[in-house]
């Protein structure tokens, strides 16, 4: 019996439940000091006065860092990482100082004594699609070109019957990653080596080294990042941010002291990334049979003056459905805001909300069932490249989900199903997420004797169950049971590993494990000596250049809307996914349900409210930044097709970490329309969107 495909319990579960698994801030270090950051209270301008006298005089304060005394950075080209190098202020909440003291309480008190004056300049933090400074970027997130064009969609739309056209605007708000463990780092500088060690809450230990070492002016070999346990990230921990630089500068200024910096929950809304607000103008035309004749998706997102980052929201429209006439564009609006960054399924989540609600509207216009219109427009090959799909079983997901959800019992007319005072509706939406395998990961395998193997790589488990999945993959590759594998991860002293992001972790690291195991057998045969060791990585997979590889899924949602108050409840939700071979059913189901919960949150709860007068997020804690609680999530289930995708990875698996959120918000909104007859196109849905209708 193989380990992959078996529902193995999390190997780190006991340690996490017992509280013995060390997270970044909890690492035991000698002689720790504590950092409290000081952030700007204006959105644009310069610091013209900075008095740290009172703070520095507090007993127990070791250092007050500002732009006037901080070490100089070797590379200031990255505006997100250029900390304490000048008096310039680019956004509200920018780190402009730090107090380091013997205790966090002393540091916090001393920070409150620092007085700051500004030369404030006019700022602009208001996102709108018609902004005069909007521009077309050279590329959008993921390296995609910003525009694409097939055929002549504008001419087709102009000639189409107005009854069979959708021409609407959709929007999603600014959102913030809020993992339970905030961004934290412990920095230790050994000037004798010299060596900088970071205990960091990160999705990419090696990425932190390659990003920060040049900024700090040290070599990669002079930096070590340790991250054995990470309490969630959802993308924001995919790279170093300014807090890492701040802690490193403090440690380098205090040789021999370990500097601990825990970003506060309020600061999580300032300088560690966010999902930018988006606007999408979607136009679709179809013939009388519901076949798409043209698709146009024009996407807009805010970026920052400090550094460009543009969501690829229109990219999914390039491959999702079949049509000969298609155009997608992206425009960025630069504002005086912190730098946006990855948040679970960046681009796909907001983009497919717009596209899948538009498809629901088109189904209504054509008088066709929402599932059937998706089936009729399923492309036989990738519309963008012409490549064959490695496996595209979206129709199977839709059909199986419809059967399991009892879609046939649905009344076609919106607003006609009631249960007492509740209006009842059901909705559906498709999901797609590109398969990614990041090149470069390496694995060391060492035979320890007695049938035991040590498998080492610098990968990181951010709570997804990667440690358990990789152990299963290694056990099968080395022809032993999982309990004979000792897996080492989460340290840049181990072989290089790529980021835990883009749903690529298991695919990238697992492929490297299988390649390393094959190399091990080739070198040592079936009777290796104790201490036999080899290090290698996965070769390039030529199939990824000959096939389009992607994960797919279908979301089904039931909603109930109170006719008196507009209260919305989601009593039932089902996702059916095509993700190749499932490595560990237990952890994969958890990932899929987590993503679907994100979709409910995106549809009904999450919104970061930025005050345009002052440039800051008003909803900067978990009391006012609303996310679902247990009472909001009822009967939710995830299932998957039984399949193996031999083109995707040696394991036959594809990514599963992000597809759960893609399309799920659209399914909620489509169900609300079916329940009430009200079409909502701006997230999150509010009660007053539904009242009076």
Q: Which residues are catalytic?
A: 658
DSSP SS3 for 241: coil
Q: Is-contact 561 668, C-beta < 8 A?
A: no
DSSP SS3 for 36: strand
List, in sequence order, every beta strand (DSSP E) within 475-542.
Answer: 485-488, 533-537
Tokens linked to 454: 């040590």
Q: For residue 416, what are the CA distances in angstroms to 206, 419, 668, 687?
A: 56, 10, 17, 19
Alpha helices in 274-367 (DSSP H): 348-366
* Rounded distance between C-alpha atoms, residue 229 and residue 269, angstroms: 23
Q: For residue 253, what are the CA distances in angstroms to 65, 71, 189, 241, 562?
A: 9, 8, 9, 19, 60
Q: Is-contact 378 392, C-beta < 8 A?
A: yes
* Rounded distance between C-alpha atoms, residue 584 and residue 261, angstroms: 35
Region for 463 from its dihedrals, namely left if φ exceeds 0, alpha if ψ lies in -120 to 50, beta otherwise: left
Tokens 């698996």 locate to 653
Tokens 């970071």 locate to 198
Phi, psi (degrees; rounded to nearest 5) at 17: -65, -35
* Rounded distance between C-alpha atoms, residue 330 and residue 352, angstroms: 14
* Rounded distance between C-alpha atoms, residue 617 and residue 72, angstroms: 30
How many other CB atoms are there within 10 angstroms of residue 229's CB atom? 22
DSSP SS3 for 418: strand
* Rounded distance between C-alpha atoms, residue 139 and residue 123, angstroms: 26
Q: Is-contact 160 292, C-beta < 8 A?
A: no
Exposed/middle/buried for residue 592 (C-beta within 10 Å: 0-12, 13-18, 19+): buried
* Rounded distance between C-alpha atoms, residue 180 and residue 112, angstroms: 26
Q: For residue 533, what are the CA distances in angstroms to 468, 483, 496, 536, 641?
A: 22, 19, 16, 10, 38
């Amino acid at each position: 019996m193989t380990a992959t495909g078996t529902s193995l319990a999390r190997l780190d579960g006991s340690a996490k439940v017992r509280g013995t698994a060390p997270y970044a801030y909890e690492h035991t270090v000698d002689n720790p000091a504590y950092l409290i950051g000081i952030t700007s209270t204006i959105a644009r301008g310069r610091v013209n006065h900075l008095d740290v006298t009172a703070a520095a005089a507090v007993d127990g304060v070791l250092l007050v860092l500002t732009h006037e005394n901080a070490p100089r950075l070797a590379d200031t080209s990255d505006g997100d990482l250029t900390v304490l190098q000048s008096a310039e202020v680019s956004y509200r909440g920018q780190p402009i100082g730090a107090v380091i003291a013997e205790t966090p309480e002393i540091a916090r008190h001393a920070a409150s004594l620092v007085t700051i004056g500004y030369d404030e300049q006019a700022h602009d933090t208001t996102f709108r699609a018609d902004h005069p400074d909007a521009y077309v970027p050279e590329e959008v997130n993921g390296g995609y070109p910003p525009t694409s064009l097939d055929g002549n969609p504008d001419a087709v739309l102009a000639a189409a019957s107005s009854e069979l056209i959708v021409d609407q605007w959709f929007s999603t708000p600014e959102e913030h990653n809020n993992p339970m463990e905030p961004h934290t780092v412990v920095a230790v500088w050994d000037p004798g080596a010299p060596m900088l060690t970071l205990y960091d809450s990160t999705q990419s230990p090696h990425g932190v080294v390659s990003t920060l070492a040049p900024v700090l002016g040290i070599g990669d070999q002079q930096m070590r990042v340790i991250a054995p346990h990470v309490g969630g990230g959802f993308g924001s921990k995919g790279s170093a941010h300014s807090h890492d630089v701040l802690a490193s500068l403090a440690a380098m200024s205090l040789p021999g002291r370990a500097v601990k910096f825990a970003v506060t929950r309020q600061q999580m809304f300032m300088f560690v990334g966010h999902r930018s607000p988006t606007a999408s103008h979607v136009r679709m035309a179809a013939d009388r049979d519901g076949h798409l004749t043209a698709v146009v998706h024009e996407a807009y997102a805010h970026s920052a003056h400090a550094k460009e980052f543009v969501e690829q929201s229109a990219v999914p429209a390039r491959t999702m459905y079949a049509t000969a006439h298609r155009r997608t564009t992206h425009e960025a609006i630069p504002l005086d805001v912190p730098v946006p960054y990855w948040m679970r399924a960046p681009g796909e989540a907001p983009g497919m909300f717009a596209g899948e609600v538009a498809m629901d509207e088109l189904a209504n216009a054509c008088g066709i069932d929402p599932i059937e219109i998706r089936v009729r427009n399923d492309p036989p090959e990738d519309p963008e490249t012409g490549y064959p799909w490695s496996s595209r079983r979206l129709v199977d997901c839709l059909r199986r989900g419809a059967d399991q959800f009892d879609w046939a019992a649905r009344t076609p007319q919106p607003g006609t199903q009631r249960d007492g005072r509740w209006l009842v509706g059901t909705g559906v939406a498709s999901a797609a997420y590109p398969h990614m395998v990041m090149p470069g990961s390496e694995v060391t395998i060492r035979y320890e004797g007695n049938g035991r193997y040590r498998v080492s790589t610098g990968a990181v488990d951010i709570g997804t169950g990667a440690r358990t999945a990789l152990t299963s993959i290694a056990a099968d590759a080395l022809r032993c049971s999982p309990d004979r594998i000792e897996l080492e991860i989460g340290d840049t002293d181990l072989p290089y590993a790529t980021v835990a992001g883009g749903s690529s972790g298991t695919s990238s690291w697992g492929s490297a494990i299988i390649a390393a195991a094959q190399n091990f057998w080739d070198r040592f045969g079936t009777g290796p000596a104790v201490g036999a060791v080899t290090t290698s990585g996965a070769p390039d997979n030529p199939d990824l250049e000959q096939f389009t590889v992607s994960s797919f899924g279908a979301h089904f949602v039931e909603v109930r809307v109170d006719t008196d108050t507009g209260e919305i409840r989601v009593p039932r939700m089902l996702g059916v996914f095509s993700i190749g071979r499932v490595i560990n059913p237990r952890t994969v189901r958890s990932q899929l349900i987590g993503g679907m919960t994100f979709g409910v949150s995106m549809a009904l709860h999450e919104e970061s409210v930025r005050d345009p007068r002052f440039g800051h997020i008003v909803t900067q804690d978990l009391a006012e930044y609303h996310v679902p609680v247990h009472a909001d999530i009822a009967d939710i289930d995830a299932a998957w097709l039984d399949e193996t995708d031999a083109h995707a990875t040696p394991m036959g698996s594809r990514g599963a970490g992000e597809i759960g959120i893609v399309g799920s918000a659209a399914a909620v909104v489509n169900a609300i329309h079916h329940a009430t007859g009200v079409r909502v196109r701006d997230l999150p849905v509010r009660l007053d969107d539904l009242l009076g209708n």
